[in-house]
A and B are shown apart, each in its own frame.
Chain A
């Protein structure tokens, strides 16, 4: 059985570290909020822990699966395959397309390994360019439009999630009456529009350290901004609303449908964008 590569080990440690951080943050949050006795809070905490553990397990399974399927590759081809596999995670392609691409590349590498060829003879010297060419061949071209549409989708999902969590924590009978803090939306929206594109870009470039740094930087900037606003400008009415106010992003069934329609339109536009790109190839 092939040993885990240095990179696989690194990614495994990273996933354990991030998951532990998430669990720890959740524990501290619920302790600070003094809601430990609350049944719903406990349930949310347990869900967070389960998700964190599942994330680590899925990372282990994905690494083991790569090892199982690639047992006939030479070490050099295996390392390149693993690199391509990781770079593809940060590429704007559907999971099905990524799976299909990896299956094709694995077949290619198995044949090349059998013929005792060199990696550079098969993929050239620029793996980044190879991955970029693959992405283009699937019709993904305009990064800006794609990132804006993805940002819209993530923002809506974050708002849904926030309102859902607040509803579970509150004693409100109706989901629509629950409010979420404006300040939290102010953190999550830059994360959706700027953070996610940057994170996927760094995953593609194998700069895993920056994957952690980006959300942390956005968080630090958010805290500094909010603290400054709170300390110096809280007397201004709109600043007060920004810092202390809350709003219901889904105040009615009609609004819920409107958000879902917007989500569907963003997906549709991404699909149209791809079709147009393919026709222009």
Chain B
């Protein structure tokens, strides 16, 4: 079960990087985007620690801008390292999905 969780976290991280490759975005909007792609069970409490960790690892950077609601809002963007990380995720994911697709086709009833 722990391995499944780790796998999902890895995939989620790749998806966040993919969303941010389209331009900078704040945490709440990233979750909305993830939901719109079908990650219905994902909530902010899952995504926020990932964003913090990626920022600490130098994969994401952020700018703080004033918000109409209250405290300044963080807009995240990919760093050079983040772009490399996305390329690695993308190629790994393509390989894995090809292997899994092939296996499922060949073994399907």
Interfacial residues, chain A to chain B (CB-CB below 8 A): 69, 72, 101, 103-108, 110-112, 114, 121-124, 130, 133-134, 136-139, 278-279, 281
CB interface residues, B 13-61, toward A, < 8 Å:
26-28, 43-46, 48-50, 52-53, 56-57
CB distance A281 to B44 under 8 Å? no
CB distance B71 to A72 under 8 Å? no
A112 to B48, CA, bound (A): 14
Q: How many residues of B contact A (CB 8 A)?
A: 21
CB distance A103 to B72 under 8 Å? yes
CB distance A72 to B70 under 8 Å? yes
Closest residue of A by beta carbon distance from B72: A103
B67 within 8 A of A: yes
Name the B residues within 8 Å of A72 (CB-CB).
Answer: 69-70
CB distance A138 to B27 under 8 Å? no
A97 to B27, CA, bound (A): 17
Closest residue of B by beta carbon distance from A99: B71
CB distance A106 to B43 under 8 Å? no
CB distance B44 to A122 under 8 Å? yes
**Chain B 54-89 against A: per-residue CB contact (8 Å), 1 yes, 0 no?**
001100000000010111111000000000000000
Interfacial residues, chain B to chain A (CB-CB below 8 A): 26-28, 43-46, 48-50, 52-53, 56-57, 67, 69-74
Interface residues of chain A: helix, strand, loop or mixed (majority): helix
Closest residue of A by beta carbon distance from B26: A107
Closest residue of B by beta carbon distance from A114: B69
A72 to B43, CA, bound (A): 21
CB distance A137 to B52 under 8 Å? yes
Give min CB distance, A92 to chain B, whole Å: 15
Name the A residues within 8 Å of B69 (CB-CB).
Answer: 72, 107, 110-111, 114
17 A–B contacts, CB within 8 A, in A order: A69-B70, A103-B72, A107-B69, A108-B44, A110-B67, A122-B43, A122-B45, A123-B43, A124-B43, A130-B49, A133-B46, A134-B49, A136-B53, A137-B52, A137-B56, A138-B56, A139-B56
Give min CB distance, B62 to chain A, whole Å: 10
* Contact of B53 (CB < 8 Å), options: A111, A112, A130, A137: A137
* Contact of B74 (CB < 8 Å), options: A104, A112, A138, A139: A104
A281 to B52, CA, bound (A): 11
Give min CB distance, B74 to chain A, whole Å: 6
Give min CB distance, B30 to chain A, whole Å: 11
A101 to B49, CA, bound (A): 10
